[in-house]
Amino acid sequence: MRPTPHHRAVATGALVAVTALLAVGVQSTSATARPEAAGARAGGQRIVQPDPGAQPAKLSPSQRAELLRAANATTADTARSLGLGPKEKLVVKDVVKDNNGATHTRYERSYDGLPVLGGDLVVEAAKGGQVKGVTKATKARIAVASTTPKLAPAAAERAAVKSAKAQGSQAGAADVAPRKVIWAADGRPTLAYETVVGGLQDDGTPNQLHVITDANTGEKLFEYQGIKTGTGNTMYSGQVTLGTSGSYELNDPTRGGHKTYTLGGGTSGQGTLVTSPNDTFGDGTNNDPNTAAADAHYGAQVTWDYYKNVHGRSGIRGDGVGAYSRVHYSYAYVNAFWDDGCFCMTYGDGENNAKPLTALDVAGHEMTHGVTSATANLTYSGESGGLNEGTSDIFGKSVEFWANNPNVPGNYFIGQQIDINGNGTPLRYMDKPSKDGRSADSWYSGVGNKDVHYSSGVANHFFYLLSEGSGPKDIGKFHYDSPTSDGQPVTGIGRDNAAKIWYKALSEKMKSNTDYADARTSTLWAAGQLFGVGSDTYNAVGNAWAAVNVGSRLSSGVEVTGPGDQTSIVNTAVSLQIKASSPNGAALSYSATGLPAGLAIDARTGLISGTPTATGASTVTVTVKDASGRTGTITFKWTVGTDSGGSVFENTTPVAIPDAGPAVTSPITVTRSGNAPAALKVDVTIRHTYRGDLQIDLVAPDGRKTWRLKSADPWDSAADVRATYTVDASGTAASGTWKLQVKDLYAGDTGTLDRWRLSF
């Protein structure tokens, strides 16, 4: 089960966002890129060549401004073409243009003049303007009964302040008074208040708690923390050349006017511009306060250059405007953070003011929070929050590697230089995140409940595996040993290619509520654009995600669909069709080991049939080869037992599931006396490109009793249903025709009910 909507979030450009490096104790068209558009289908996939022009273009600020102007001029037409309601309006947030002329325009929405939180979408258009696809944060049509609230704003403010105090804030009132919004992040548009409460958290980090309250009932719908956590002689990077204005101050006119200020222990305001009696800043030690300033200024400079030279991005927002840095925040503050409100990075001086958090990868990390805010705006909570943090770690390390500074050897350990723990260990490990004792190596259903700094481990681990591959290895002077969740190896594609894929997915496909399943879809789409669908690089992306338990493996060879574990009755005939495909459509041959006695596989068709003659369990491995020598294998368990009053009944006839159409049914006739058991097992196998569209019910033979096996979930963008459900059918007669009923509730995808069975 995916995390509930209350573990997800959305954001709008009007919200203030601040991101800290460390955990601080606070926690139409489809809703996502479709597998067809993203090229994410695993089996029988057509090879699609890469588009040489799919790399994001290097736009000047004036070129980007012209694209924004053109998009703003057509928002009404775009809204109509997307089928939005008459009260809905689009607001352009960003435009990315590829070298081939394709554009990716990111919009936010309003309804009857109110901001829609969770209404963001991205429209992809070809060079001539033809719309190729739309990615939405929510599929629901935006509509509420009334925009007149029953709850007074003061009541929402009191509740928000209470929530903030429970998390350490001493604020007695909201920083930003409650504003009316439409809350749509959970797929149920609701009139709500958004209240922002400030103050400081327990560790001194600024507090910006956003609380979403139902404007009619007073129920708290959601909350998230907005705080995301000349010559220079630096502490971490050695002697470097700094961009200055030539007037002995840290002001870099060549990088959008980036400036570095000192707060001198303060916690508010811009601070004082760092100056020097000459063009040398710092002495390389903590004795000179300008040393930390030199590190911060250098980090911002290198990060600017990395994004511009590698990804064609001019500045954090892409508008050529430099952010600014603040050093010496508070006293002994062991953190650093990015703040959208001031468009700036802020650095503490560490424990006992002895170890400023101004290392190069930290600078890259913090500035990347600004890039994320200006693009996908991944909300800082749940899985999207983990992806937000992971994105900053990914590009923080990419900046460090790209700088190629011998004093800062590139590595996959976050905060390795600052030794914040005081024991020679980094903050986080990308090769095996769980080494920090808190981070997740792989996805699981509750990973979105972890602090975002630790749920980010899934993204960090994926990026390491995609870049370098699995297993033990030495890279530079550092040793790594990266495991995989499925025990299968991963071959890396190189860090530079991995970063290009992630950046394209972030800037052109991800959205505010993207979770790990969506991130897989987005990165596969980006890999397909840049390297070709079905290419080795494309498949490596899928396999790296599978290695952190997100989605299934892809293969450049023969693709074999696993049938799932099998259960049969001794002396009862069985028939199981193995499905496989070759990327070039070549003829296939099948073989199998471990089959129960009495069963065999047809070498030409892949049909396993026969009558098992003995009880027991075995592990079956099926190998499929094509005429070109490519192979694919699957492994599953096969258990043969006696009836002992139990029986297995199955229907293997495929049934097409229409897109947003009427429910379809598949029957199974059961011939046995007595009632069904209290733990009736229902195994279901469905191929579908967006399983969240599906609602699945089991219908009893008399038609009067129905069990809901699976509800529709517009946020569940993963493909296929392969699940076993258990229902209490003890009050229902077993004999008769049972039906599985499947309904597709949303437009955009189709699928097939391949098979289902009942185990009594």
Both 336 and 204 in one domain: the answer is no
Contacts of residue 96, Cβ cutoff 8 Å, sequence gap at least 6:
56, 103, 104, 106, 318, 375, 507, 508
- Mean pLDDT, the chain, as a whole number? 85
Let me know whether 423 and 530 are in one domain.
yes
Does the pLDDT at position 574 exceed 90?
Answer: no
Tell me the two tokens of residue 568: 């049969």
Domain end position, chosen among 225, 256, 279: 225
C-beta of residue 204 within 8 angstroms of C-beta of residue 333: yes
Q: Residue 499: which residues within 8 A CB-CB, separation 6 or more?
A: 310, 394, 395, 398
Report phi then psi at 365, rounded to 5: -60, -50
Tokens of 622: 């099926």
- Integer Cα distance of 375 and 372 in angstroms: 5
Domain final position from 533, 550, 567: 550
E-strand spans in 44-140?
88-97, 103-111, 114-125, 131-136
The pLDDT > 70 percentage for the chain reads 89
State the virtual CA torsion across 490, 496, 501, 502 in degrees, nearest 10: 90
Assess whether 309 and 406 both reside in one domain.
yes
Given this model, what pLDDT does residue 38 score? Answer: 34
pTM value surpassing 0.85 = no
* Closest C-alpha to 119, from 139, 146, 93: 139
pLDDT for the residue 46? 54
Average pLDDT on 27-38 reads: 31
Note the pLDDT of residue 28. Answer: 31
| CB neighbour burial string for 303-326, b if at least 16 within 10 angstroms, e if fewer | bbbbbbebbbbbbbbbbbebbbbb
pLDDT digits (tens, 9 = 90+) for 302-316: 999 999 999 999 999
The yes-or-no verdict on residue 632 having pLDDT over 60 is: yes
Distance, CA of 136 to CA of 126 (rounded, Å): 18
pLDDT at 246 over 80: no
- Whether 416 and 511 map to the same domain: the answer is yes
Mean pLDDT of 551-578: 81
Q: Which two tokens stand for residue 185?
A: 């992040």
Judge whether 688 counts as a catalytic residue.
Answer: no
The residue type of 737 is: T
Q: What CATH number has the domain bearing residue 115?
A: 1.10.390.10
Burial class (CB in 10 A: 0-12, 13-18, 19+), 669: exposed
Domain interval for residue 577: 559-641
CATH number at residue 581: 2.60.40.10
Q: Are 620 and 727 found together in one domain?
A: no
Distance CA 382, CA 403 (A): 32
Same domain? 130 vs 159: no
- Cα distances from 527 to residues 337, 464, 520, in angstroms, run 31, 16, 10
For residue 87, give the amino acid letter.
K
CA distances from 506 to 275, 390, 491, 592 (A): 37, 12, 23, 43
DSSP 446: T
Residues 150 and 140 in one domain: no
Residue 658: predicted pLDDT: 92
210-223, pLDDT tens digit by residue? 888 999 998 888 88
> Is residue 205 located within the same domain as residue 283?
no
d(Cα 188, Cα 206) in Å, to the nearest integer?
A: 32
- Both 397 and 466 in one domain: the answer is yes
Considering 104, 328, 453, 688, which one is annotated as catalytic? 453
- Together in a domain, 449 and 517: yes
Q: Which of 88, 124, 366, 468 is labelled catalytic?
A: 366
Structure tokens at 461: 């681990």
Q: Which domain CATH number covers 665?
A: 2.60.120.260
Is the Cβ–Cβ distance between 213 and 179 less than 8 Å? no
Q: How far apart are CA 638 and CA 570, in angstroms?
A: 12
381/27 Cα distance (integer angstroms): 7
| 256 and 318 Cβ atoms separated by less than 8 Å | no
- Write out pLDDT tens, residues 414-453: 988 876 666 668 889 999 999 999 999 999 989 999 999 9
Candidate from 245-254, 402-411, 504-513 with smallest mean pLDDT: 245-254
453 in catalytic set: yes
Number of compact structural domains in the chain: 4
pLDDT at 420: 61
Instruction: Let me know whether 653 and 740 are in one domain.
Output: yes
Structure confidence at residue 419 (pLDDT): 67
Q: In degrees rounded to 5, what are phi and psi of residue 336? A: -150, 150
Residue 669 and residue 652 in one domain:
yes
pLDDT for the residue numbered 423:
64
Q: Which of 165, 192, 225 is the last residue of a domain?
A: 225
Domain with 205 in it: what CATH number? 3.10.450.40
